[in-house]
Amino acid sequence: MIDKTVLNAQEAIEDIQDGMTISLGGFGLCGIPENLISALLEKGIKGLTCISNNAGVDDFGLGLLLQKKQVKKMIASYVGENAEFERQMLSGELEVELIPQGTLATRLMAGGYGMPVIYTPAGVGTEVAVGKEVRRFTFHGVEKEYLMEHAFEPDFAFVKAWKGDRAGNLVYRGTAQNFNHAVAMCGKITIAEVEELVEPGELDPNFIHTPGIFIHKIFQGEKYEKRIEQRTVRNKDDNE
């Protein structure tokens, strides 16, 4: 069995160059590839196009790359937690493509399935459809317009899992499944960081979320902060 392990995040990203496109798993700050993002920050790679559900927060996740002006274009669904993102977008410093969340997920998966395009009713008749092909299809007896969207084919994909083996098989934990599997499918080169790296055969095959066929490099990460975007608490008196 092929051993896909590398020593650390720095070794994993050694082939990434300025101007490349990277897709990243995670939803909010849950299940984001923290070590790989930090490695990009340290290496100072610039001109990146990042595909992710969101852009992190001002001082964590993709927000760190935005602070250092390492991201040229952001393709995302939700970006409301990042003031620096807003500032760069409004000032014209950052190119932004906002995508309906379902369309984002399906374009990621289509890249893994080998489908060059998808058709979706989401976005028809809105700014999302400007300059794109629209076709009419009859589905379940109803004829309506569908927008053609191209599959994503990023140069690299970054994902974070709970456990993984040396062959690249991954298991996510709870909500961290979010976009990670779809992201893992679409990368020309997919890199996985895991909290626990085990030997092949130690993972129950019935509970593997991403098969190793999609993974090219894997390493055990360290120092996971697992930040929470917004923490809301109430006073003890509120319970009385």
Structural domains of the chain in order of their starting residue, each with its CATH number: 9-101+151-220 (3.40.1080.10), 117-150 (no CATH)
Beta bridge partners of 163: 171, 196
Mean pLDDT score of the chain: 93
Task: Give SS3 for 34.
Answer: helix
Q: Do the Cβ atoms of 106 and 118 come closer than 8 Å?
A: yes
Residue 112: per-residue pLDDT: 93
Contacts of 155 (CB under 8 A, 6+ apart): 16, 20, 21, 22, 187, 188, 189
Question: Rounded distance, CA 200 to CA 37, Å?
Answer: 27
Q: Do the Cβ atoms of 8 and 38 come closer than 8 Å?
A: no
Residue 239: per-residue pLDDT: 62
pLDDT tens, residue by residue, 97-108: 999 999 999 999
Contacts of 157 (CB under 8 A, 6+ apart): 22, 23, 24, 25, 183, 184, 186, 187, 188, 189, 190, 191
In the chain, the percentage of residues whose pLDDT exceeds 70 is 98
Q: Do the Cβ atoms of 172 and 180 come closer than 8 Å?
A: yes
If one counts every other C-beta atom within 10 angstroms of the C-beta of residue 163, the result is 20
Q: What is the DSSP letter of 221?
A: -
pLDDT tens for the chain, 240 residues: list them: 799 999 999 999 999 999 999 999 999 899 999 999 999 999 999 999 999 999 988 889 999 999 999 999 999 998 877 889 999 999 999 999 999 999 999 999 999 999 999 999 999 999 989 999 999 999 999 999 999 999 999 999 999 999 999 999 999 999 999 999 999 999 999 999 999 999 999 999 999 999 999 999 999 998 887 777 777 787 777 665
The alpha carbon torsion through 198, 201, 202, 203 (nearest 10 deg) reads 100
Q: Do the Cβ atoms of 88 and 94 come closer than 8 Å?
A: yes
Written as one letter, the residue type at 118 is: I
Residue 238: per-residue pLDDT: 65
pTM tops 0.75, yes or no? yes
pLDDT tens, residue by residue, 145-191: 999 999 999 999 999 999 999 999 999 999 999 999 999 999 999 99
Written as one letter, the residue type at 138 is: T
Residue 174: per-residue pLDDT: 92
Residue 240: per-residue pLDDT: 57
